Chains A and B, each alone.
Chain A
Amino acid sequence: MIGAVLHTGAPPLRDPAARGRIGAAVVALIVLWPLLALAEFRPWMLFESGNLQVMGHFLAGFLPPETSLEFLALLGKATLETLAIATCGIALALIIAVPLAVAATRSLAVSRIGPGPGRHRGTAGRAAVRGLLTLLRAIPEVVWALIFVRALGLGPGAGVLAIAVTYGGMLGKVYTEILESGDTRAARALLEAGSPRLGALLYALIPGAAHELASYTVYRWECAVRASVVMGFVGAGGLGQLMDQSMKMLNGGETSSILITFLLLVLLADALSAVIRRVLA
Chain B
Amino acid sequence: MSLQLLDAGLVHANGHRALRGVSLEINAGERVAVIGPSGAGKTSLVRVLGASLRPTEGQVTIAGTDPWSLSAGALRRLRARIGVIHQSAPIPPRLRVVTAVLAGRLGRWSVWRSLVSLAAPSDATGARDALALLDLEDRLFDRCDHLSGGQLQRVGVARVLYQRPEVMLADEPVSALDPTLADQSLAALVAASETYKATFVASLHAVDLALKWFPRIIGMRNGEVAFDRPPAAVTRDMLHELYATEGRLLPYQGVEQQHEERPANVVQLKRPGCQ
Contact = CB atoms under 8 A, between A and B. Distances in A.
A188 interface: yes
Interface stretch (A131-139, A151-159, A203-211): A203-211
A118 B82 contact: no
B236 interface: no
B163 interface: yes
A193 B163 contact: yes
A111 B50 CA distance: 15
Nearest to A113: B52
Nearest to B109: A199
Interface string B105-128: 011110100110010000000000
A192 B106 contact: no
Interface residues of B, number: 40
A183 B92 CA distance: 8
B167 to A, nearest CB: 11
A184 to B, nearest CB: 9
Interface string A177-220: 00000010110111111111011101110011010000000000
A194 B90 CA distance: 15
Nearest to B78: A194
B79 interface: yes
A188 B91 CA distance: 11
B54 A114 contact: yes
Contact of B84 (A189, A203, A207): A189
Interface string B44-77: 0000001111100000000000001011100111
Contact of A196 (B75, B93, B95, B111): B111
Interface in A90-115: 110-111, 113-115
Contacts of A200: 106
B173 interface: no
A64 interface: no
Contact of A190 (B93, B103, B111): B103
B103 to A, nearest CB: 4
A202 B80 CA distance: 17
Given A193-B163, A203-B114, A116 B103 contact: no
A214 to B, nearest CB: 13
A194 B118 CA distance: 18
A193 B107 contact: yes
A193 B104 contact: yes
B99 interface: yes
Contacts of A110: 72, 76
Interface in A197-249: 198-200, 202-204, 207-208, 210
B81 interface: yes
A198 B114 contact: yes
A203 to B, nearest CB: 4
B94 interface: yes
Given A117-B72, A117-B75, A203-B106, A193 B118 contact: no
A195 B90 contact: no
A136 to B, nearest CB: 26
B36 interface: no
Majority DSSP secondary structure for residues of A touching B: helix
B99 A194 contact: no
B115 A194 contact: no
Contacts of B75: 116-117
Contact of B83 (A118, A193, A203, A208): A193
B66 to A, nearest CB: 11
Nearest to A199: B106
A192 B52 contact: yes
Contacts of B90: 183, 185-186, 188-189, 204
A210 B163 CA distance: 26
B111 A198 contact: yes
Contacts of A188: 90
Contact of A199 (B53, B84, B111): B111
B109 A208 contact: no
A114 to B, nearest CB: 4
A185 B86 CA distance: 10
B103 A115 contact: no
B92 A186 contact: yes
Contacts of B79: 191-194
Contacts of B80: 193-195
A13 B149 CA distance: 44
A100 B114 CA distance: 20
A199 B114 contact: yes
Contacts of B71: 117
15 contacts: A114-B53, A114-B54, A116-B72, A183-B92, A186-B90, A186-B92, A193-B83, A193-B104, A194-B79, A196-B76, A198-B114, A199-B111, A202-B114, A203-B114, A207-B94
List 6 tightest A-B contacts by C-beta distance, closest first. A194-B80, A194-B107, A199-B106, A195-B106, A194-B79, A189-B90
Given A110-B76, A117-B68, A203-B100, 6 more contacts: A116-B54, A116-B68, A191-B79, A193-B104, A199-B106, A204-B92
